[in-house]
Structure 1
Amino acid sequence: MAWAATAMLASLVVLALAGPLVWGAAADRPDPSVVLQGPSGAHPFGTDNLGRDLLARVLAATRPSLLLALAATAIGAGAGVLLGASTAVVGPRARRLLAALINLLLAFPALLVALFLAVVFGAGAGGAVLAIAVAGVPGFARLAQTLAAAVAGTDHLASARVLGLRRHRLLWRHVLPNIAEPLLLSVTTAAGTSLVALSGLSFLGLGVQPPGYDWGRLLNQGLDRIYAQPLPALAPGLAILYAAVTFQLLGEVLAGGVARRGPASRPPRPPVVSSGPAEEGLVLQVEDLGVELPTPEGVIRPVRGVSLSLRPGEIVGLVGESGSGKSLTALAIAGLLPERARVSHRTLRLLGADLAAMTPRQRDHHLATGLAMVFQNPASALNPSLRISTQLTEAARVHLGMRHAEALREASEALRRVALPPSLLRARPHQLSGGQRQRVMIASGLMVRPDLIIADEPTTALDVTVQRQITELLSGLRRDTSAAVLFISHDIALVSGFCERVLVMYAGAIVEALPADRLATAARHPYTRALVASVPDLTADRDRPLPTVAGAPPDPLAPAPGCPFEPRCPHRRERCAREAPPLEDLDAVQRVACWYPLPVTTDDPAADRMEAGPS
């Protein structure tokens, strides 16, 4: 489609530029000896009532036809966008008046408005352009109003208001740049509609007037001969169709390019190979997991060489700074990464089944029934337009084949298990609190009776009381169903008190794996120690700044050859900058990726804070 649209658009541009120069003279030269002749070798489309060559006239009419359509589109789009986008920067009363005006204008069919205004403005090219432009204003205004409404409530626009920016600055600097992309796509497709409408007005005698001509005028002149000689009428009609389809295809191609947002070629998918040998008694077995993401600047690897495993009923915490790869690891395991992301692994097994050896349909079904995902923001994960009952029962009906009544009973039971009343089945997400929505997300996962629950920041933005309720709920579910839980969080203190094992991630790799009871006093990696030391304490000296991890994570586009934490490590040595340390066993239960692990300390002041739990 992209190649076809480019070729068609290029041909129109060439004809618009060269048409009047190459065929203009032949198009305007009368020849009384060949009046109203049919198609022939000398005149492939025939001649008109003055003996002028119709092929030359169709080609020469490309420029005026396209220019008039583009002018009408530009005027209508400019006026409509300014009208609709202004609703984001004016006061409440003016906003209501503008919205009422847009609704009123939309009540009249655009075609009837164009015909009426063409008569009011007078027959001619100028009147036709203005008529089509005014008729197109309401559509662009409604689109711009809808897009601007999403920008009107943003924090950056509120900050700009506080800074005292005038309304025209708010409009041009903060509103229009954020809605320009979909508007430009709409303008492209609207150009084709304007071309057809203008040709229709010229066909009716309200557009271009003699001696001028466009495709619509030529179509009108050939209509009288359509039964005897159809080609003189068909030729300008085909030209109108060709140009309109070109603009529509161009809009489709641009929209598709915007949706892809990356290199034109799709990265090759990794070959389907069998995983390594399965280990008995594991719910999840992952070895050497990697994720590659294409960007305009190059391919980055936000996750590399991650290995982890979970047993039935085990709760494992996954911690690290923002951007360390925790959520991407979870999404890669669940098969929820974007289509253009590339996932590689040596072993990926869920409930003993090799996911790499399955067909896509089998893999989706196995993941949907064996794994549940609890997302960080339930407000965006739940569909605001659907009732809770629909969203809870859908997975069970699709993947387990439950009937509607049976699925409703299971949904009621799932809500009871997460301490919510079954009456909430009739509610919608906006009627629930943040904690209730998070419980609904957990209940949704329980509907398929999963053996693995991945909880990605399930307590973020919740108060301490609700955090404790959510963690107690997950602990109870683990105890009752023997489901394994992979708990992703930034809260080191919460993880140390809730999980049995802890995996610490940095720059896309696991740098330490240890039991949770060792986290406060026996962490050996400098990064883990820094995270533990940054846990706030109510008894700390308030005159001193809170401890933080100095420096910034490495640039994923330019990874260093040595240890990723080396630039921030206060204990770094020369070898750390040359070689990346592997994740190696310190003993039977602890592993660390560090050339020089720190010694165990028993008088670490962070230990008391960790044992006290989250403050």
Structure 2
Amino acid sequence: MPRSPGRRRSPLTWVTAAMLASLAVLAPAGPLLCGAAADRPDLSAVLQGPSAAHPFGTDNLGRDLLARVLTATGPSLVPALTAVLLGAAAGVLLGASTAVLGPRARRLLAGLINLLLAFPALLVAMFLAVVFGAGGGGAVLALAVAGVPGFARLAQTLAAGVAGTDHLAAARVLGLRRHRLLWRHVLPNIAEPLLLSTTTAAGTALVALSGLSFLGLGVQPPGYDWGQLLNQGLDRIYAEPLPALAPGLAVLYAALAFQLLGEVLAGGVARRDPAPRTPVPLPAPAPAPRGPAEDGLVLQVEDLHVEIPTPDGVVRPVRGVSLALRPGEIVGLVGESGSGKSLTALAIADLLPDGARMSRRTLRLLGADLAAMTPKERDRHLATGLAVIFQNPASALNPALRVATQLTEAVRAHRGASRAQAASEASDALRRVALPPSVLRSRPHQLSGGQRQRVMIASALTVRPALIIADEPTTALDVTVQRQITRLLSGIRRDTSAAVLFISHDIALVGEFCDRVLVMYGGLVVEALPADRLADGARHPYTRALVASVPDLTADRDRPLPTVPGDPHDPLAPAPGCPFEPRCPSRRDHCAEQAPPMEDLDAGHRVACRHPAPVAVDPATAVVP
């Protein structure tokens, strides 16, 4: 049966394979087959030109140059490859580390890489070869050190794209140490372009190492490589060109083979997105007085603020948010896009983007004050006390790792479990989310969207958290799978007494699924009420507008769907008064002067509005046509 066109090898692939195979055979076989002729002097055949007995001629001791070129294959290739591998290993570790270090260490490391790149690599190699001493070992070490900055810059650029992914953030939530983040989540996702760069750098290193030997800084007599053979034949270049050029042709042949290998491998590698720009961090805020602890709470947050610098100014997407969750409670957090829901969750989980700063009066998880802990203590407490389920499981799960690895690494890192015990717990977690243990052998791309989200929930269960932050976990799923996920979270809440902070745009789903609802607008919580009152008992005009914008089966299909009038809140220019005032149908002049405080209306119902709508008003009337 003929091979499909997609699987047919190109001529370039076959040529490259043949060239590499010839080098791989000559490197060990050259000394065995030609070593005797290469080292045996013949004073009767000194400095002869090409002939049938000596196709490349002879040197000043009558030794056969073809035999010496073939014998020098291994001494030329092995040091060059060694130099590339050493330089690549050091450079990749240096550059990729920027994805897992803190902001200050990342800036220092980036500055060091920029400084090293300011010096030409070949000049650095020549200088270091003199410093280390002439010889093969010194030349290899000099080339390795000179190659570090280039690999470091490439790895730094690629790692920056991985640093902002959800799966790395999820790994941080699990509290994995930096070396695990580096080996498991950063390096596997940047390996392909680094491999391509290494193959092409091998040819460059071969030319550079031969150049050092040509200058007398590399391999020393009685040893020899192609560079030294080229130097020995240089004085005959005009009389006998072939004996002088033969080592150079060998260098060209091997370097071309490595370059072609890079071209062949590059044909199957997708291009990666450019790395996002990192904003400049603001100075740390002055510590605020802490509020008293409240017994029985899983999470206690008071007066939470988040600021992010941008080229247009400082954005304050979260301004004074307070919330609390008790064991076994599901609290919904709703609002339009940009209202600060996800950033509130990221601030609680200590996953804010670089440059963002957070201040709070109180932030306690399981009664422990996170501000009073050292960074290591805080990371471990967050890793074992809470879990985050992200909106897009396709990006939150590491595409380079199997599900088994991603479900077991947190158990092994925090509880010291063996590989078998961690695998058993991962299988149990999958069964709890109605997935078979065979999923452990799969990679994320082999699963459906619903299955990936269940794997994310199973990953959260492996650390046995007291708090689960579900950041829009049903947005990308169809209605049937949405219901399955919400029932699954309800069952987990019932079985483990874990509290759930459920973030969603779907106000109808939140009203059905949650116990309490917090409504955010402009970075503020504008209303907090029991979920069973959401449909007909909301008092804030914004909450009523959200409820009215949800269509139902009785809606008039001839009329457009109701929407919240006006433009969303501008975080770059927050108004001093109520943030919803420009869009509020019940606004008064004084509403634009000062933001209203949260006030208690009755048990469990609070609202930040100076003119809350009466309960008797139909929610549909809260929307201006």
Tell me the TM-score normalized by structure 2.
Answer: 0.57
Please give the per-residue CA displacement for 1:432-482, whole angstroms capped at 9, x wherever unaligned.
111111111001000011000110101112111111110011011100100
Instruction: Tell me the residue number matched to 2:466.
Output: 451
> Is the alpha carbon distance of 1:579 and 1:385 closer, same or farther for their aligned partners in structure 2, counting shifts above 3 Å?
same
1:373 maps to a residue whose letter is V
Give, in whole Å, the separation in 2 of the partners of 1:466 and 1:261: 36
Residue-by-residue CA offset, 1:68-118 (whole Å, 9 max, x unaligned): xxxxxxxxxxxxxxxxxxxxxxxx99x999997699789989xx9xxxxxx
Aligned to 2:412: 397
2:331 aligned to which of 313, 316, 324: 316
Give 1:502's aligned residue: 517
Distance 1:577 1:603, change over 3 A: closer
Per-residue CA deviations over 1:516-547 (Å, capped at 9, x if unaligned) read 11111111111000000000113311110000
Task: Check if 1:297 corresponds to 2:338.
Answer: no
Q: Which residue of 2 aligns with 1:595?
A: 610
Corresponding residue of 2:395: 380
Partner of 1:333: 348
Contact 2:544-2:619 within 8 A present in 1 as well = no
Match of 2:591 in 1: 576
Distance of aligned partners of 1:108 and 1:269 in 2 relative to their CA distance in 1, 3 Å threshold: farther
Whole-Å separation in 2 of the counterparts to 1:104 and 1:304: 64
Q: Does residue 262 of the first structure (1) align with residue 279 of the second (2)?
A: yes
Return closer, same or farther for 1:359/1:552 CA change in 2, 3 Å cut-off. Answer: same
What is the rounded CA distance, in whole Å, between the counterparts of 2:362 and 2:485 in structure 1?
31
- Whether the 8 Å contact between 2:302 and 2:321 is mirrored in structure 1 is yes
Counterpart of 1:347 (choices 358, 362, 384) is: 362
Out of 500, 511, 529, the residue aligned to residue 526 of structure 2 is: 511
Provide the residue aligned with 1:367 in structure 2: 382
**What is the TM-score when the length of structure 1 is the normalising length?**
0.58
Determine the C-alpha separation between the residues in 1 that align with 2:566 and 2:14.
Answer: 54
Q: Percent identity of the aligned residues?
A: 76
Correspondence for 1:430 among 445, 467, 470: 445
CA distance in 2, matches of 1:373, 1:99: 46
Structure-1 separation of matches of 2:548 and 2:350: 35
Contact 2:528 2:607 in 1 (8 A): yes
Q: Aligned partners of 1:493 and 1:555: how far apart in 2?
A: 26
Cα 1:419–1:573 change in 2 (3 A) is: same
Please give the alpha-carbon distance, in whole angstroms, between the structure 1 residues aligned to 2:553 and 2:482: 19
Distance 1:403 1:258, change over 3 A: closer
Decide whether aligned partners of structure 1 residues 102 and 324 sit closer, same or farther in structure 2, where only a CA change above 3 A counts: farther
Per-residue Cα deviation, 1:553-573 (whole angstroms, up to 9, x for no partner): 122111111111111111111
Residue 275 of structure 1 deviates from its aligned partner by 3.2
- Distance in 2, matches of 1:298 and 1:420, equals 47
SS at match of 2:537: coil
Comparing 585-594 with 313-322, which one deviates more in the overlay?
Answer: 585-594
- Residue 104 and residue 517 in structure 1: after superposition, are their counterparts in 2 closer, same or farther (change >3 A)? farther
Q: 1:508 to 1:295 in 2, by over 3 A?
A: same
Report 1:29-68 matches (<5 A).
none
Of 411, 427, 442, the match for 2:426 = 411
SS in 2 for 1:513: strand
Distance in 1 between residues matched to 2:298 and 2:471, nearest whole Å: 18
Distance in 1 (CA, whole Å) between partners of 2:288 and 2:416 is 31
Matches within 5 A, 1:175-186: none
1:376 Cα deviation from its structure 2 partner: 0.3
In structure 2, distance between residues paired with 1:432 and 1:340: 35
SS across alignment from 2:503: strand
State the AA in 1 paired with 2:290: S
Tell me: CA distance 1:103–1:585, structure 2 relative to 1, closer, same or farther (3 Å).
Answer: farther
Q: 1:12 matched to which residue of 2?
A: none
> Which ranges in structure 2 are unaligned for 5 or more consecutive residues?
24-149, 162-192, 216-230, 236-273
Name the amino acid aligned to 1:468.
R
Query: Is 1:554–2:608 an aligned residue pair?
Result: no
RMSD between aligned residues:
3.8
- 1:584 Cα offset (Å): 1.6
Alignment partners' CA distance in 2, 1:345 and 1:511: 18
Residue of structure 1 equivalent to 2:489: 474
CA contact (8 A) 2:363 2:370 kept: yes
- Give the direction of change, closer, same or farther, for the CA distance of 1:413–1:532 in structure 2 (3 Å limit): same
Number of aligned residue pairs: give it. 395
Structure 1, gaps ≥5 residues long: 1-91, 113-138, 151-181, 205-219, 225-256, 608-615
SS in structure 1 of the partner of residue 602 of structure 2: coil
State the alpha-carbon separation in 2 of the partners of residues 461 and 516 from structure 1.
23
Contact residue 501 and residue 516 of structure 1 kept, 8 A: yes
Counting only pairs closer than 5 Å after superposition, residues 188-337 of structure 1 correspond to structure 2 as 261-263=278-280, 266-270=281-285, 275-337=290-352
Q: Deviations over 1:3-26 (max 9, x none)?
A: xxxxxxxxxxxxxxxxxxxxxxxx
Structure 1 residues 602 and 554: alpha-carbon distance in aligned structure 2, compared to 1, 3 A threshold? closer
* 8 Å CA contact 2:433, 2:454 repeated in 1: yes
The structural deviation recorded for 1:604 is 4.4
**Equivalent AA in structure 2 for residue 368 of structure 1:** A
Query: Residue type matched to 2:569 in 1?
Result: P
Deviation at 1:423, TM superposition (A): 1.5
One-letter identity of the residue aligned with 1:298: G
CA distance in 2, matches of 1:101, 1:327: 50
**Structure 1 residue 577: deviation in Å?**
1.2
* Whole-Å separation in 1 of the counterparts to 2:558 and 2:14: 59
Q: Identify if the C-alpha distance between structure 1 residues 104 and 312 changes in structure 2 by more than 3 Å, giving closer, same or farther.
A: farther
Give the stretch that moved more between structures: 383-392 or 281-290. 383-392
Q: Residues 558 and 387 of structure 1: is their aligned pair in 2 closer, same or farther, counting only changes over 3 Å? A: same
Equivalent residue letter for 2:416: G
Instruction: Give per-residue Cα distances to partners, 1:105-133, cap 9 Å, x unaligned.
Output: 89989xx9xxxxxxxxxxxxxxxxxxxxx
Which of 560, 564, 579 is residue 545 of structure 1 equivalent to? 560
Return the letter of the residue paired with 2:337: S
Q: Deviations over 1:223-269 (max 9, x none)?
A: 99xxxxxxxxxxxxxxxxxxxxxxxxxxxxxxxx9765333xx4233
Cα deviation, 1:40-87, whole Å, max 9, x if unaligned, reads xxxxxxxxxxxxxxxxxxxxxxxxxxxxxxxxxxxxxxxxxxxxxxxx
Partner SS, residue 453 of structure 2:
helix
Q: Distance in 2 between matches of 1:562 and 1:273?
A: 23
Once the two structures are superposed, what CA deviation does each residue of 1:396-415 show, in whole Å capped at 9, x if it has no partner?
11112211111111111111
Q: Which letter does structure 2 place at the counterpart of 1:466? A: V
